[in-house]
A = this chain, B = another copy of it.
């Protein structure tokens, strides 16, 4: 496709002080503001001024990080995005939420409300959650196994979308003179009965501006990809190398087509965490500056969680033992796919423990790239035009400067090249992503409710 017709999607993935694990220690950062809503509203305005498609927040219902050495996020994403919604007008708003630890009716309401409040800018990043820590907060002895989580996730999404669809678009009649508010023939019980979930409906809110919020997904396992091919309208993914990105991209588009979907309506957005400076040398120096701020005890604890064995005894300046990743070949779980990415790094680069910790400190396995604005734009264009990406999940190593730098230096180059919008052409997240507004599955069906 010629430059200028197909357009990049850019999404700002917000971690309070940045994606580099030591960002909170950097003098430019404001870790004292991570419970301050105005800080996030400012980040949202910066992303909107640069015409980003959306901001995105990760989430999980447990205290996962070792907060002794890390300024972990504390605000719940849906409420936080609601506050950002009131400070912006076009920016998409994507929150992560778990199908394992929520009830469909409750979660459907939160996202419906966000979509109404924001005038059609909500997206839901669907996760099944992968930790025993979360299970213990919900009365379970252990986290449900991967396959069960995905089985529930499928039912969950089916039920939630049916709830969102249960009021047809024209259900509200609004005839005060006649005393008729809604045409209840157009409000439907969903009568969802699955193996894990049972939901009758109807929903207690009208259909939202987008029909329903955009469905986003990030699982890279086989189950995850299958789920994505079936449901996801945007996919966040992690790849280090162009060829891996291309293989994933092709696979996802094929899976979507196999489900009878238009592959163009599934946006593939790899993560990239760019250290940007005027020269390549300065960019690498900036990356080193952050790496030198890491706390090895924190990195070793994170690595232990990933590989499942204690690594705290490993000498920091000796090579990582390859055996540590012996079990990483079999991608049955999402955490396994993360492990495989890292096993690949270890096999190819044979880093010392310290070097590996620095690699992981960058963006937890996502691609870290240090370079000039031109080089960042080049790699984005390369992936975009060579079948590896429809856009990027931009993960600045540090906020707010990392986002501001990207916005002021990389975005103009992408715009100059005709790859990225100079103005919003629509007001909803679906508009930005180029996704159609779905029709209600109940349109024209006979009513049951009321």
* Residues of chain A having any CB pair with chain B under 8 Å: 24-27, 29, 31-32, 35, 37, 41, 60-64, 66-72, 74-76, 78-80, 82-83, 85-87, 101-103, 105-106, 109-110, 112-114, 116-117, 136-139, 174, 176-177, 179-184, 187, 197-206, 293, 295, 298, 449-450
In the complex, the count of this chain's copies comes to 2
Alpha-carbon distance between A150 and B233 when the two chains are bound, in angstroms: 42
Quick one: given A31-B174, A184-B67, are A199 and B139 in contact (CB under 8 Å)? yes
Which among A37, A79, A106, A450 has the highest number of chain B CB atoms within 10 Å? A79
Quick one: given A82-B82, A181-B69, A181-B70, are A204 and B61 in contact (CB under 8 Å)? yes
Are the C-beta atoms of A68 and B117 separated by less than 8 Å?
Answer: no
Are the C-beta atoms of B200 and A80 separated by less than 8 Å?
Answer: no
Are the C-beta atoms of A74 and B139 separated by less than 8 Å?
Answer: no
User: Which 10 interchain pairs have the tightest Cβ spacing?
Assistant: A74-B205, A139-B198, A136-B200, A76-B113, A79-B113, A63-B204, A25-B176, A67-B182, A82-B82, A179-B295
Alpha-carbon distance between A101 and B203 when the two chains are bound, in angstroms: 15
Residues of B within 8 A of A449 (CB): 63
Are the C-beta atoms of B117 and A79 separated by less than 8 Å?
Answer: yes
Are the C-beta atoms of B137 and A61 separated by less than 8 Å?
Answer: no
Alpha-carbon distance between A16 and B71 when the two chains are bound, in angstroms: 39
Alpha-carbon distance between A174 and B67 when the two chains are bound, in angstroms: 10
Alpha-carbon distance between A103 and B71 when the two chains are bound, in angstroms: 26
Are the C-beta atoms of B68 and A204 separated by less than 8 Å?
Answer: no
Residue on B nearest A85 in the bound complex, by CB: B83
Alpha-carbon distance between A31 and B182 when the two chains are bound, in angstroms: 12
Residues of B within 8 A of A76 (CB): 109-110, 112-113, 205
Quick one: given A68-B182, A79-B117, A182-B68, are A137 and B31 in contact (CB under 8 Å)? no
Are the C-beta atoms of B72 and A204 separated by less than 8 Å?
Answer: yes
Give min CB distance, A190 to chain B, whole Å. 9
Are the C-beta atoms of B116 and A106 separated by less than 8 Å?
Answer: no
Residues of B within 8 A of A82 (CB): 79, 82-83
Are the C-beta atoms of B80 and A117 separated by less than 8 Å?
Answer: yes
Quick one: given A79-B78, A80-B117, are A109 and B68 in contact (CB under 8 Å)? no
- 19 intermolecular pairs with C-beta atoms under 8 Å apart: A25-B177, A25-B179, A29-B176, A35-B205, A37-B117, A60-B204, A62-B204, A66-B184, A67-B182, A68-B183, A70-B181, A76-B110, A79-B82, A82-B82, A102-B106, A103-B103, A138-B199, A139-B197, A139-B199
